[in-house]
Structure 1
Amino acid sequence: MNYSYVAVFLSLLLFGSQRAFPQNWEAGIALGGSGYTGDLNQRGYHKITDPAFGFAVKKNFDGYWALKFSLLKGTVRANDLASKNEDQRNRGLNFFSPITEGSIQLEFNFFDFGIDWGQARVTPFLYSGVSYFGFNPKAIYNGEEYELKRYATELDDDQFNPENDAYKTTAFALPIGAGIKFKLSNNWNVATEFSFRTAYTDYLDDVSKDYALIDPNKNNFNKERWFVSDPTGYSDGANPNFKIQRGDYRKRDTYFFALVTLSYVFRNKDCPF
């Protein structure tokens, strides 16, 4: 076999594929809103509570596939007193938490998206990947702000150690999203998207399992722990003989982003399109 012909053929194939599918970088800014579902909001799956923003950098491999790196920031919150459920109103908990997330995602376009003849100028798309995020749940009672992790609201007195964290405030999440993108010009795209993040923690809202057994007469800090854990006295938490359910026992909380992204495509100099 004449390997020189094979080398020439492979070179032409590689060159042709690079021209047909230029590997373009894309960068953009995102604006929108964020929300949460979990122990304090079990049914409002699409309730946006706070603004969100961020930016993304994307490597477009062709008209169908891309790899995206994003950094997003938002806030999630819920309040039992605003619930339609009587048990939640009696529980009387609330929280808010900033979310800062870094993510890597593989994106798939349903149509061949681009500016070449025959390519689509509009396409729906799906994506998934992995995210890593930080959070820090807080609550407000009687006009005072409490950093909830500090009070270890679900640890019994014999488990509580102020030098140890009650739970980590960083976790991985699984993002799954969908949207529609539009080609505005040769270099500008706009996309709308909605995506859920399944968090690998159940403490996004500081609530997971049972009320802690806390003796409020032990010291002043325990009085605060007992109050923050059960601000309405719903659980009779000072009784050492039984525990009462505080959370919904689901293993993971969920947060989401609804975003509009405006992005600019940096095209290769050799790209003929």
Structure 2
Amino acid sequence: MNKLFLPLFVLLYFTALPQVQAQLQMRGVEVGPWVGTAVYFGDLNTDFKLNRPGLAGGIGARYNFNHRLAVKASVNYGRIEAYDSDSDNPFELNRNLSFQNDVLDGTLQLEFNFLNYIHGHREYWFTPYAFAGISAFTHSPKTIADDGRTVSLRELGTEGQMRGDEYAIINMAVAGGVGFKWDITYEISMDISAGIRAGGTDYLDDVSTSYPDRSDLLRNRGRDAFELYDRSLMVNQEGERIDRAGEQRGDDTVKDVYIFAGFGVNYYFGDVRCPGLGGKRR
């Protein structure tokens, strides 16, 4: 994902740079909220299914340099979740893990409009656009125990992490995506967008590497860790779960990703500075 988004960011920057150096046609800030959905792809959703969308939303501020280039900062929230029981893969079905995670995300992105876009213009009032940037996010995966309790998984060290060596809850990711924006009035516009956050962590789902030694886990982390690190459906003749120490639990070669998609409404505080570009569509 980094190999895809970082060149895109550079391409957008140097493609739009001449527009900044040219005469400014539109400049100013627009601010507004958005609402939509969040989805996750990773070890518990390897088939890229969209059957578990979570609520998402946020607020952002965009600064327009001109009719082609803008920079946007946003704060976003999304609930992601996945269940092995949804999978068609026999390994994942038997693994029988699940998680929910509340992600709080701050993103800074550079936007490039593919068409001329000028607030209030009779002709240039809409455009598709692409964006690339960076995100910082916090997360804490949880699961529902057999007794109905919601249990935080990071503190359990479910893959044998020692106390103090748990995976980070604050991570950085590469952001990128596409959208479409259009005017409603001179001041008010709307946009629809979908953006991916990639490369930040492989522990959005608390699954990455292999099963730990269960005796060590019980001794070091307690009963919840012992009961929740392995919820496999396959048992031995005594009805007990098989000791899977060292066996594959996840795939640490591919990072987890999450996607935000939704509608936004923005209020424009700037102005159009170049004469002869058409009347304002108030």
Select the residue among 24, 29, 36 that pairs with 2:28. 24
Q: Matches of 1:212 and 1:34 in 2, distance apart?
A: 31
Q: Matches of 1:217 and 1:127 in 2, distance apart?
A: 44
In structure 2, runs of 5+ residues without a counterpart are 1-19, 236-240
User: 2:155 matched to 1:150?
Assistant: yes
Q: Matches of 2:262 and 2:82 in 1, distance apart?
A: 20
Select the residue among 108, 117, 136 that pairs with 1:132. 136
TM-score by length of 2: 0.81
Select the residue among 264, 267, 270 that pairs with 2:267. 264
Q: Matches of 2:141 and 2:218 in 1, distance apart?
A: 25
- Tell me the C-alpha RMSD between the 2 structures: 2.5
Is this contact kept in 2: 1:108–1:126, CA < 8 A? yes
Q: Residues 195-210 of structure 1 correspond to what in structure 2 (within 5 A)? A: 195-210=195-210
- After superposition, what is the alpha-carbon deviation per residue over 1:124-147, rounded to whole angstroms, capped at 9, x for unaligned? 100010000000000112112211
Task: Give the match's secondary structure for 1:54.
Answer: strand
Is this contact kept in 2: 1:149–1:165, CA < 8 A? no
Shift of 1:269: 8.9
Change (3 A) 1:186 1:114: same
Shift of 1:186: 0.8
Is this contact kept in 2: 1:211–1:237, CA < 8 A? no
Mark the structure with the bigger radius of gyration: 1
User: 2:58 matched to 1:54?
Assistant: yes
Residue 223 of structure 1 corresponds to which residue in structure 2? Answer: 223
Q: Matches of 1:149 and 1:127 in 2, distance apart?
A: 32
- Structure with the bigger RCO (C-alpha within 8 Å, sep 6+) is 2
Q: Matches of 1:259 and 1:61 in 2, distance apart?
A: 24
Q: Residues 1-273 of structure 1 correspond to what in structure 2 (within 5 A)? A: 17-18=23-24, 21-44=25-48, 46-47=50-51, 49-115=53-119, 119-142=123-146, 143-155=148-160, 160-161=162-163, 164-215=164-215, 219=219, 221-232=221-232, 238=243, 243-268=246-271
In structure 1, runs of 5+ residues without a counterpart are 1-13
TM-score by length of 1: 0.83
Q: Matches of 1:199 and 1:35 in 2, distance apart?
A: 15
Return the letter of the residue paired with 2:252. Answer: Y
Is this contact kept in 2: 1:36–1:47, CA < 8 A? no
Q: Matches of 1:207 and 1:137 in 2, distance apart?
A: 10
Change (3 A) 1:115 1:169: closer
Is this contact kept in 2: 1:187–1:265, CA < 8 A? yes
Return the letter of the residue paired with 2:40. Answer: Y
Task: Give the match's secondary structure for 2:23.
Answer: helix
Is this contact kept in 2: 1:230–1:237, CA < 8 A? no
- After superposition, what is the alpha-carbon deviation per residue over 1:178-227, rounded to whole angstroms, capped at 9, x for unaligned? 01111111111101111111032111110001011120795494332222
Return the letter of the residue paired with 1:31. Answer: V
Task: Give the match's secondary structure for 1:81.
Answer: helix
Shift of 1:22: 3.3
Change (3 A) 1:233 1:166: farther
Return the letter of the residue paired with 1:205. Answer: D
Change (3 A) 1:70 1:117: closer
Q: Matches of 1:186 and 1:233 in 2, distance apart?
A: 59
Q: Matches of 2:272 and 2:114 in 1, distance apart?
A: 27
Query: How many pairs were matched up?
Result: 250
Q: Matches of 1:144 and 1:253 in 2, distance apart?
A: 25
Shift of 1:267: 2.0
- More off after superposition, 35-44 vs 260-269: 260-269
Task: Give the match's secondary structure for 2:116.
Answer: coil
Change (3 A) 1:22 1:117: closer
Q: Matches of 1:40 and 1:217 in 2, distance apart?
A: 22
